[in-house]
Amino acid sequence: MSQQITRRGEPLSVAGQLVGPGDRLPAFRLTNDGLEDMGLAEFAGRAKVFNIFPSLDTPTCALSVGQFNRHIESFPNAVLLQVSADLPFAQKRFCSAEGLTNGVTLSMMRDKSFAEDYGVLIESGSMAGLCARAVIVADADDQVVYSQLVADIAEEPDYQAALNALESL
């Protein structure tokens, strides 16, 4: 089963189903800006906010990274995980240039199974192979409490709904 989103009117098909409230986070291996593989174990015992997006090279993705970076400071027991297909070098360069230090950038450069398992892999259209824009909030025990697959990839996620879910933990 696939989900449908758009990119400024262009239909895009997303593989699988976005993880949702009540689901447990699937295990993953993603690459950080130090070229080290990381998974759920590295973030054990902390609430998690996944800001998932196609690429930092787009204005909406850059906006979402900045927004979540500013807000996550209010939640000392949470970690912001920013996931895209961008190379770790590009992620690090972008965050350094923008002064964004409150999140962990993670790349699916070595393995797209994260995108498949989390239900965010765009499988058709001009953005095939990238992540759809989504936000997932999970508690310290890796239980999903909130998720949003943004209907049009050019639009921003509902920051307030995600922050409200995080605040409720």
Give 68-94 pLDDT, tens digit per residue: 888 999 999 999 999 999 999 988 888
Q: Rounded to 5, what percent of the chain is helix, strand, coil?
A: 25, 30, 45
Q: Which residue in the block uniquely carries the two structure tokens 């009540």?
A: 22
pLDDT of residue 40: 96
Phi then psi for residue 133, to 5 deg, are -80, 125
pLDDT of residue 61: 63
pLDDT less than 50: residues of the chain? none
CB-based contact 120:134 (threshold 8 Å): yes
What CATH number does the domain located at 2-161 have?
3.40.30.10
Report the catalytic residues.
61
Write the single-letter amino acid at 19. Answer: V
pLDDT of residue 98: 80
pLDDT of residue 24: 98
Cα separation, 56 vs 70, in Å, equals 17
In angstroms, the first-to-last Cα distance of the chain is 31
CB-based contact 131:53 (threshold 8 Å): yes
